[in-house]
A and B are shown apart, each in its own frame.
Chain A
């Protein structure tokens, strides 16, 4: 079993729809949770960073962490074609030297 599980999709939605992405994890020591966006042939770009449980909102993006269920989510409201990318969840524990990544979910927003 992988430490971080993420459905690779692909996910195709019409423009303006809400995109819902999620990851589950097994390591209860994880405290820092991130979502990265990766466009084709580019490096991952940090979108959201959350510490411990709770919600965080940044514009059209909302990240949620439920540590009791070991489940994190990313919601994209009013999705745009420019949101078409692969979204990777990543997480780490205190003093970790690396991030543990999910496999990434490929999202296509249709105009």
Chain B
């Protein structure tokens, strides 16, 4: 168990709908990262928050948004869903900002999103 909690585990919805994915980082970790994993694109970085502030954006669509709350949990909002948004969405956390140099990135078990 990585200590990163993601809910829900599975989400089935229809095109055009909006969903919210939730993530609680490991105790003490200030950084939260969101990644999308699909069969054709692999693991793609979406966005990073550090202590409530957005630090970096990757390949995140304008229909997607995220935030990190004062208690450090984070939510990823996906709107106007399309079939191509079906994927595994992972949250990861780390103690520091970069999550790379001398720091481990811990992943949650993911949310499987199916858009029908």
Chain A interface (Cβ < 8 Å from any Cβ of B) = 31-32, 36, 41-46, 49, 51, 88, 92, 94-99, 101-104
Contact = CB atoms under 8 A, between A and B. Distances in A.
Interface stretch (B12-20, B42-50, B68-76, B78-86): B42-50
- Counting chain B residues whose Cβ lies within 8 A of the other chain, the interface size class is 20 to 34
Given A98-B45, A98-B48, A32 B101 contact: yes
B42 A97 contact: no
At the interface, is chain A mostly helix, strand, loop or mixed? loop
Interface of B: 2, 4, 33, 42-43, 45, 48, 55-56, 58, 90, 92, 97-102, 104-110, 112
Contact of B2 (A43, A51, A104): A43
Nearest to A93: B100
